[in-house]
Amino acid sequence: MRTLRELLRNGWFSVGAAILLVLAVLVVLSFFAPDDPTAWRVAPRDLRPSWEHLLGTDSKGQDVFWQMTFAVRNSLAVALLAALISRAIAVTVGLVAGYSGGVVDRGLMFINDALLVLPLFLLLVLLAMLVREQMSILSMAVMFGIVGWAWDARLIRSQILSLREREFTYTAILSGTPVHKLVFREYFPFVLPLLLATLISYMAWVVGMEITLALIGLTDLRIPTLGSVLKWAIDYQAMLLRLWWWVFAPIVASVALFVALYLISVSISDYLDPRARIQRVRAR
C-alpha cells in the first residue's frame, strides 16, 4: 500500500491509472452484454450514436459499444498473458544461463541471440500464418509470448553474472543452500524491478502487434479485439459511408490504452530508478 501511495503522488501514474480504470470498467461490462459478440444482425444497421446505442451500430448489425467492451477485454487478455509468458521465459533463461555458465550459458545465449537478430514482425507473420486456422486468445498470447523474451533474458543474465560473484553467493553455497533456492530466493528479488518495468511496456507492444496483424488479415476476425473491430470498419469502408463512430471507437480505445500503459510504465520505471529513490529519500 505504501508503494501504491507513493506512485499515486506521481501525476502521470494517476492519469494512466484513471484511463486504465475506465477501460477496466468496459471489461467488466462485457460480462453483462445482452448479445453474443460474434452474432450479426442483432441490431439495426448503421445507426448513429444515441441513448439506445451509445456508440451507434455497424454495417454488420452489431452494437459498437458492446463490441468495444469485448474488444478491450480480449486485447488486454492477450497482452497480459503474452507478457506473463515472455517474462517467465526471460527469467528462466536469464537465471539459468547466468548462474550455470559454461556450455549451458553458451547454448541458451545462442538461441537468445538468434531471436535478437531475427525481425520479430516477420516471425510473427510466419507464426500467424501457421496457426491462423486455430487462432484463439490463448494461441495469440502464446505466439506473442514466445518471441518477445530475448532482450530481457540477456539483461537478466548480465545481472545474475554480477550477483554470482558477490559474497552472499559464496556464503550461501558454503552453507549448503540448494541451487534452486539460491537462484529463485536470493537472485529473483534483484530481477523483479526489471520485470515490473518491462511488463507493462511489453503489453503495449503486444496490443500494437495484434492490431497490425489484424489489419493485414492474419488473426481470427470473429474474435472481437481492437484490431479486428478496426479491420471490419476498414473493410466495410466505414469512413466513406460516414460511419465515423465505427472507426473512431477502436482508434480512441487503442490510443487510450497505449497512453495509459505508457504513463504507468514510465512512472514505475522512474519509481524503481535508484537515483530517483535517493532523491525521494533526501526530499523527506
Q: Is the pLDDT of residue 229 over 90?
A: yes
Q: Which residue has the higher pLDDT, 215 or 9?
A: 215
For the chain, the average pLDDT equals: 86
Strand partners, 57: 63
Dist. CA 9–CA 72, nearest whole Å: 27
* Residue 281 CA neighbour count, 13 Å, CB half: 7
Q: Is the pLDDT of residue 1 over 70?
A: no
Q: What pLDDT score was predicted for residue 4?
A: 64
* Residue 245 CA neighbour count, 13 Å, CB half: 19
In this predicted structure, which of 41-50, 64-73, 111-120, 180-189 has the lowest mean pLDDT? 180-189
pLDDT (tens digit, 9 = 90+) per residue, 135-189?
Answer: 889 999 999 999 988 888 888 888 888 877 777 777 777 777 776 677 777 777 7
- Supply the CATH classification number for the domain 2-30+54-283: 1.10.3720.10
pLDDT (tens digit, 9 = 90+) per residue, 182-227?
Answer: 777 777 777 777 787 788 889 999 999 999 999 998 888 889 999 9
DSSP letter string, 123-171: HHHHHHHHHGGG--HHHHHHHHHTTS-HHHHHHHHHHHHHHTTSHHHHH
Dist. CA 83–CA 146, nearest whole Å: 10
**Long-range pairs for 124-127: beta carbons < 8 A, 24 or more residues apart:** 124/209, 124/213, 125/213, 125/216, 125/218
Q: What is the mean pLDDT of residues 74-90?
A: 93
Q: What pLDDT score was predicted for residue 77?
A: 95
Please state the length of the chain. Answer: 284
Using the structure block, give the residue that is written with the C-alpha cell 459499444: 65
Please name the amino acid found at residue 15.
Answer: V
pLDDT (tens digit, 9 = 90+) per residue, 17-48?
Answer: 999 999 999 999 999 998 888 889 899 999 99
Please name the amino acid found at residue 9.
Answer: R
Please name the amino acid found at residue 144.
Answer: F
Which residues touch 53 (CB under 8 Å, ≥6 apart)? 43, 47, 63, 64, 65
Q: Is the pLDDT of residue 63 over 90?
A: yes
The ranges assigned to domains in the chain are: 2-30+54-283
